[in-house]
Amino acid sequence: MTGQDMDAAIGKARREYREARKEMDALRAKAGQVSQFAIKLQNALGDPSSIRFFEGTPMFTAPGVRVRQFIVFTDAEFVQVTPSAIRQLGESFRSLEQRIGALRKQLVELEGEDPERGQLPA
């Protein structure tokens, strides 16, 4: 492998590694949203009478009347907690972890430096 080929391979591996790390961050954010929804659902199930579904019209009460707090859901929120959606989330994590591990190993072999232990040059 020529020096130019080596530089191209290193550059490609770095790019793919950075993109995979960004994907992992996005996946973690999505998992965080699912987690927040699960907490909201748990709180609602602790007091089922507080559960309301938003049907498109706001809920109003007369001025001065003390209103109890409701936990409002939409049907769309439940799409993210189906068995297939949770399964897909887990599979995506595992697949991405393997990809990041392979790219990390490749970078260590090409550069002799572990990208997890220090910043890669841009």
pTM for this one? 0.75
Cα(79)–Cα(75) distance, rounded to whole angstroms? 7
CB atoms within 10 A of CB 17: 20
Cα(32)–Cα(38) distance, rounded to whole angstroms? 10
Cα(116)–Cα(39) distance, rounded to whole angstroms? 32
Q: What is the mean pLDDT of residues 98-122?
A: 82
Q: pLDDT digit string (tens) for 15-66? A: 999 999 999 999 999 999 999 999 999 999 999 988 988 876 666 665 665 6
